[in-house]
Amino acid sequence: MDSTTLYIKNMVCPRCIKVVQETIEKSGLKVGHIELGKVTLDGNIDQEAKDILSNRLKGEGFELLDDRKQQLIEAVKNIIVELVHYGDLDELKEKFSTVITQKLNKDYHSISKLFSEIEGGTVEQFIIQQKVERVKELIAYGELTLSEISFKMGYSSVAHLSAQFKKVTGMTPSQFKADPGSYRKPIDAI
Res 86: pLDDT: 85
Q: Please state the domain extents for the chain.
A: 3-66, 70-189
- Give the H/E segment covering residue 123: helix 123-141
In tens digits, the chain (190 residues) has pLDDT values of 688 999 999 888 889 999 999 999 999 999 999 998 999 999 888 899 999 999 999 999 999 998 999 999 999 999 999 889 887 655 666 688 998 999 999 999 999 999 999 999 999 999 999 999 999 999 988 899 999 999 888 888 999 999 999 999 999 998 888 876 666 566 666 6
Domain 3-66, CATH: 3.30.70.100
Q: Please answer whether residues 128 and 80 qualify as being in contact, where contact means their C-beta atoms are separated by less than 8 angstroms.
A: no
Res 186: pLDDT: 62
Res 119: pLDDT: 93
Sheet holding 63-65: strands in order across?
A: 31-35, 38-42, 3-9, 63-65
Q: How far apart are CA 89 and CA 60, in angstroms?
A: 32
In CATH terms, are 3-66 and 70-189 the same topology? no
Task: Please state which CATH class domain 70-189 belongs to.
Answer: mainly alpha
Is the whole-model pTM more than 0.85?
Answer: no
Give me the sign of the Cα torsion angle 113, 119, 125, 131. negative
Q: How far apart are CA 27 and CA 30, in angstroms?
A: 9
Give me the sign of the Cα torsion angle 132, 92, 115, 158. positive
Cβ count near 128 (within 10 Å)? 17
